Amino acid sequence: AETLRRAAHEHVVRVFSVHYDGPKKHVYIITELCDGGLHASIKNGPLPLAIARKYVRHALLGLEALHGRGMVHRDLKPANILTTGGAAKLSDFGLVTDKLVAGYASQQGYLEHLAPEVILNARTSAKSDVWAMGLTIFRLLNGEPWYADVQAALGIDWTDPPAAIHRVKYLL
């Protein structure tokens, strides 16, 4: 909980408390309430450029704050950027870590946004967060993943994660 509270920044969703239900092995993270999110905003197409620019800037400032504290988000995607009061904030801290070994953490995150080095080496870093943010920016500006046609042509099916990762490793 203390690690997430250290992430305090105007473009990072505030974490009030973290609770662990031992018997069920569930973690509950109590955060500030936000109005919406970018995933819903792109369901019907890309964001207008001015809005995308503003929200991307906010998300990058939030990411810079996490990285500046030695933390890696590991799950950047439009659904994890929430909006409230005209501002964008990074959210979904289930995979955030500050347990880095030589600058890397274990492989976790949204499979479709994993950087090639994460797939090959099973380690995330601030660099893999930047990769995921780049894919997120593309989705915000285009309304769909950059690889939608490519993944179909290469036979990559993310509904079967182990097979998809195996296929990507083969192609790399």
Q: Which residues are catalytic?
A: 75
The whole-angstrom separation of Cα 87 and Cα 171 is 39
Q: Which of 104, 101, 82 shows the shortest CA–CA distance to 93?
A: 82
